[in-house]
Amino acid sequence: MASAHSFAAVSVLATASKQGTTLTSPSSSSSTLHSLSLGFKVKPRELSVFPDHRRAALKGPAKAQSKEAGASVVGDTFSNLKHLLLPVIDRNPYLSEGTRQAAATTTSLAKKYGADITVVVIDEEKRESSSEHETQVSNIRWHLCEGGFEEFRLLERLGEGKKATAIIGEVADELNMELVVMSMESIHSKFIDANLLAEFVPCPVLLLPL
């Protein structure tokens, strides 16, 4: 089982838009990181008359301020959390490693900040086996109970033919979610398009590295 404190490794602010923010790690998908390279040009290195030690002294405080600002953004995002959304997209009745990791992180954050949890099970197609679906729901309950949450909201969005990203955005908007917790596994598996997260999801999204 993934560590309940795995969210501590996620600290890099990768993308932002008017609608939402995506928090991810340095191991993010190339499509997410590619968006960072748009909108600015790399300037050629300029010669300076300052000695090397003076340039280092000038750059030091700027870097420190940048790190402090980044830590402040992440801290502010987490400190006011009251409503967390955990999407379950994989079809594994016993939950994939990424989903188990996301569940552990969600319960850890909810306990730390006194937030409630909403789980939404998503599948574009109807599920033929009810027994496998029941097994999956049972395992979701077990993993959240392991994290200290016996009570949580469970939603099912099955067989609607909609993309998972759009459904996550709808649920987050309707229920006023403040943070969506997901594993990068869902992006690597092509269940989620990382480029559409900021467009559809109206709140921050925490992407966990595998």
Q: Which domains are assigned to the chain?
A: 6-35+76-208 (3.40.50.620)
**Does pLDDT of 21 surpass 70?**
no
**Does pLDDT of 19 surpass 50?**
no
Give the pLDDT of residue 59.
43
Q: Kindly give, in sequence order, each residue whose CB lies less than 8 Å from that of residue 169, ignoring residues fewer than 6 positions away.
A: 199, 200, 201, 202
pLDDT digit string, tens, across residues 88-123? 999 899 999 999 999 999 999 999 999 999 999 999
pLDDT digit string, tens, across residues 118-147? 999 999 887 777 899 999 999 999 999 999
